[in-house]
Structure 1
Amino acid sequence: MSTHVEIDQSLTLPCGAIIRNRLMKSAMSEQLGDKHHNPKPGLETLYRTWAEGGLGIAVTGNIMIDRSALGEPANVVLDEQSDLEAFRRWSSAGKMGGCAIWAQLNHPGKQIPNFLVKTPVAPSAIPLGGGLAKGFNEPRALQDAEVRDIVQRFAQAASLAKQTGFDGVQIHGAHGYLVSQFLSPRHNQRDDYWGGDADRRMNFVREVYTAMRAAVGADYPVGIKLNSADFMKDGFSEEESSAVVKELEQLGIDLIEVSGGTYESPSMMGHKLTESTIKREAYFLSYAESLREVVKTPLVVTGGFRSSAAMRDAISSGTTDMVGLARPLAVVPDMPNRVLADPNYRMTLPEPTTGKPKIDRMVMLGLTWFETQIHRIAKGKSPDENLSAWRTVFDTLLASGWSAFKQRRA
C-alpha cells in the first residue's frame, strides 16, 4: 500500500491522463437541460465556478444516452440529435485552471417517474420496492436486441463526449440505475447471456465498458461509479462488487468511484451511519480498504467528507486515491481551494427542513434545497446557506406547479 501521498499531488491514471490533485466533484443532478435536452448556458457558469474552485476532476450530473429514457424532466441528453456546440461550450468552461471535466453517462432503466414514461424498461419485469411503486410504473424486460442497442448508445455518447471536449467519461453503475439493475440479483432475474448468475450479470457492464473503450481509444479516461453494495435483501453485495472491480481492472478501467445504496435504500445519502463511519466522515471508506488489498486501479471514495483532516487522512493512508465531494460543493463551491490551503478547514452541511416532514418529503427537500443552490451558482450568484426551506418549497411550486409533488426520481 502506498503511503505519504498528499491531497495536492497529481494522479496519473492507467491511460496516461494526469489529474492535477486528488479532489473530485461527484455527480449531482443539475436539472439544467433545455426543452430539447441540450445544456443550458447556466451549466457553463456552474462548471467554470467549480473548476476555478480548485477541483482535480468535475464529473457532470448524469447525462442520458437515450432521449426516450429520462431519469428527470430536465435531463441533458447526448446523442446524434444533440447540439454539440452547446456541449463544447460546457466542456470548455469546465477546464478552467487545469480542472478536468468528465461526462457521466447514464440510462435510468426502470427508475423513470411515471409521468415521464408509461412502461419503462429493465433487465426483468420487477417493480421498484421501498414504497416507490406509486411513483414508478412496473417495467417490461428488455429484449436481447434492445440491450445491445443500449450498449451502443453508451459507446456513441462516449465518442460524442470526447468529440465535444470532455476530458473523460464515467459510467453510472450505481444507485439503482440500469447498469446497477443488471448487476443486482434482486432486479436481474434473467436466464440468458445478460443474467442467471453473478458472472453473467456482469456481462452488461463488461459490454458497455468494452464498447466505450473501443469508441474513445486507449489513451482516453473511462471510469465508473459503482455500488459497494445495494444494502438490500437479495441485492448486490460487497463480494459481488469486489468481483466486478477486479474484472473491470483486468479490462483496463481508469478510475473507480465507490458509492453505495439505491433509492430504495439510500445509503449514499448518509442513512443509518455507524459511529465509526461518522468519526472518519467517509461513508464507504472501509469497503475501499478491502478493495485496496486486491486491486491497483485508482479509487475515489465519495460521501460524508467535511474536513481537510479526514480527506488528507484518507489519501495519505493509501486507502483511496481521490476524495469525492458532492453536496458540500453546492454550498461552498470553492471548497477544494479551502481544503488545499487550510489543513484545519471544516464545513458543516446544512440540513434544511420546514419542520413538516410530509412537506419535506413531498418536495424532496433534501435534494431540491441543494438543487436550488446549484441553480443560484448557475445564474452567477453565490450560494445562500441561510436559504429558507419554505422558500425552496415555494420556488419549487412556482417553477413546476403541482407537478413538483410528483416524484422526480426514485
Structure 2
Amino acid sequence: MKLGLSVNLNTLPIWHRKGRWRPQLLFTNQSQGAVFSADTGVFQDVAGTLPVTQPGQSVARLNDQSGLGLHATQSAPNSRPTFGRHPASGLRNRLPNTRMDGAALGVLGAGGALPATWGISNIPNTAVEVLSTAPKAGRPNIRIRLNGTPTGNIQINFTPPASVSSATGQTWTGSAWVQQVGGSSANISGVALINTHFSTSGFLGATNGGDFSSTIAQDIRRAASGILSGAGITNTRILLQLSSAGGAIDITLDISAPQLEQASAPSAVQVTGANGFDVTEEGQADIPYLGFDGVDDRLVLASAFSGLTSYTLAAAHDIAFLPAAPNEGIIFGGIGRFTKTVSSGLRWRNESTANQVDFSTPSVAGRQVDMVRVDGAAAPDAWRNGQAATINTTAGSFSPLVGLTHVFSAGNAYSSGRFYAGALIPRALSGTERMTLQTWLASKAALTI
C-alpha cells in the first residue's frame, strides 16, 4: 500500500542510488547520536558477547550503529524487551500458539498434553488422547481422539478468554482446518467453529460459523466471521464445539492451523509459537523487532542525548497507547514524563520546559514511520509515513533539548509495542536526508512509503 512519499532516485546522492547508503553517513563530524535496528547488534547480555538468535529471547543490549557508541542496555532481567519476528505482510493471527508447541502424545493427565494455551471442557481428561502432532499438507496439525461420555457440549479452546484484545463493533474471523479421520459421529449432533467475546464482567455473546458435521470428512478450512456486538467488549476467542446428543462418543479429529484475525474472511495462514514472539507465513520475509511490555521494559542509553537546539528523532515502530494518556506513547524518553517523545498520536513534548506541540495527524494502528525535526526555537516539523503533519504550537518557542536517556520509557511511564529501528540525530536533516532516512526506516518495518 502506498502511503504518500514519492522518492525521486535521480535527486538522491550517488551513494544512495547505487545502494550503498548507510545511516552512519548522517553522523559525519558529530559527537553524539545513535542509530538502532532490531536486525543488527542485538545481544542477550549487557556486555554484548551473546547474540540473540531466537524469537522469545530477552534483549539486554542493542548496539548503536552510528559509530558513536550510544549503545542501549538493560541490566535488570525482568525489564528487558523481547526479540520477536513476524511476516513482512504484518501480524494478523492473534492466537498465541498454532505451531502446537507443548503438545505431547498420550492421554491427557497420563503423559499426553494439548498444545500450550489450548484447553478442552465437558469431557474427562481420560477420554482425550493426542495421537499425532505431525504436519498435514504443510500445516501444523494435531490429531485428537475423543473416546468417552461428555458432560455437555465439548469445547476445544485455542486460547484463554482474555488473551486477544478486541472491541465492540470490530469484525473478527476465526478459522481452522477440521477433519474427522477416525471413529464415528454417533451421539454428536453438530460441529461448529464459534467466536466468543467477553467484557470485564464476563461472557457477552458469540458468532457461530454454522454446523459443518455433514462435511466433516473433508479436509477443508472452516470459518466463523461476524461483528462483535455488546457493550464494553474487551476480548475475543475462537473454539471448536462438538454438540452432545447424549451418550458416549468415539471420534478422531485432525485440527490444523487455527487462526483468529480482525478481518471479514480468513487470510493466508500465519503460524504462531507459544511464546507469541515467533510468527511466520509461507512466502513472506521475517521482520525482526523488539517487543516492549508497557509495564517495566526499557533500554537505557549509555549517555544522554542532550544539549541541542537542532536535532531529528525518527523511528519505525508499532506502538500501543498508554492507558493513562491514550494519545501518547514513548519511543525515546528522558528524565521527565513524556520528555521529547515521538508518539502514537504524533505528540512531541518537553514538559520540563513547558513546551508542547500537537500534530493533527490522527493516531493509527499498525506499523508506521514517525519523524520529528527541530531546527532552533521555531516549531518543529513532523511526518508520519512520509506525510507532513499539521502543527499547532501550544507553548511558544522551544528551548534546547533537555535529554533523552531511554528507549520506550520516560520517568515512570512505559510504552508497549514493537520497535523495528530508530535514530537520534544531532542536527536538523535536509529534505533529501529525511526522505532517505524514512525510506531506510520503512524497509526495516517492511513498509513502502
**Normalized against structure 1, the TM-score is what?**
0.26
Name the structure where strand makes up a greater proportion of residues. 2
**Normalized against structure 2, the TM-score is what?**
0.24
Name the structure where helix makes up a greater proportion of residues. 1
